[in-house]
Amino acid sequence: MPHGSFAAFKETLALKKARDIKKKSIYDNKHQVSKSPGSNTEFNFPKLTASELETVKYNIRKELKKDRRKTRFLIALIFITILSLILTFIISS
């Protein structure tokens, strides 16, 4: 016979079931607090002219290019660091 009591096993199962029900009720789609049923989200974006839109696109592209450059620099720096550690280990042994 296994160790432990049947009553403790039943209590554990009941607690797990209660916890699962509570967890499901939190994330249930029927109980969304932030959105009322039947309402659509409306965004209030300003209307841009063609030249303003091109300026916004240019600024976004410039920021993305800067971010890509930073990412590439960090990857290269990490690669060089790892490579130097490996070479140091190989040379010292």
Residue 59 lies inside a defined structural domain of this protein: yes
Boundaries of domain holding 11: 6-31+48-92
Residue 43 lies inside a defined structural domain of this protein: no
Does this model's pTM top 0.85?
Answer: no
Q: Position 21: which residue type? A: I
Question: Are 23 and 31 a contacting pair, CB within 8 Å?
Answer: no
Residue 42 lies inside a defined structural domain of this protein: no
Residue 71 lies inside a defined structural domain of this protein: yes
Question: pLDDT-derived band of residue 63, with 50, 70 and 90 as boundaries?
Answer: very high
Average model confidence (pLDDT) for the chain? Answer: 85
The C-alpha torsion from 32 through 37 and 39 to 40, rounded to 10°, is: 60
Residue 10 lies inside a defined structural domain of this protein: yes
Q: What is the DSSP string of 43-72?
A: --PPP--HHHHHHHHHHHHHHHHHHHHHHH
Residue 1 lies inside a defined structural domain of this protein: no
Q: Which of 66, 63, 43 is nearest to 55 (CA)?
A: 63
Q: Is the pLDDT of residue 81 over 80?
A: yes
- The two three-digit tokens of residue 9, written as one number: 């096993």
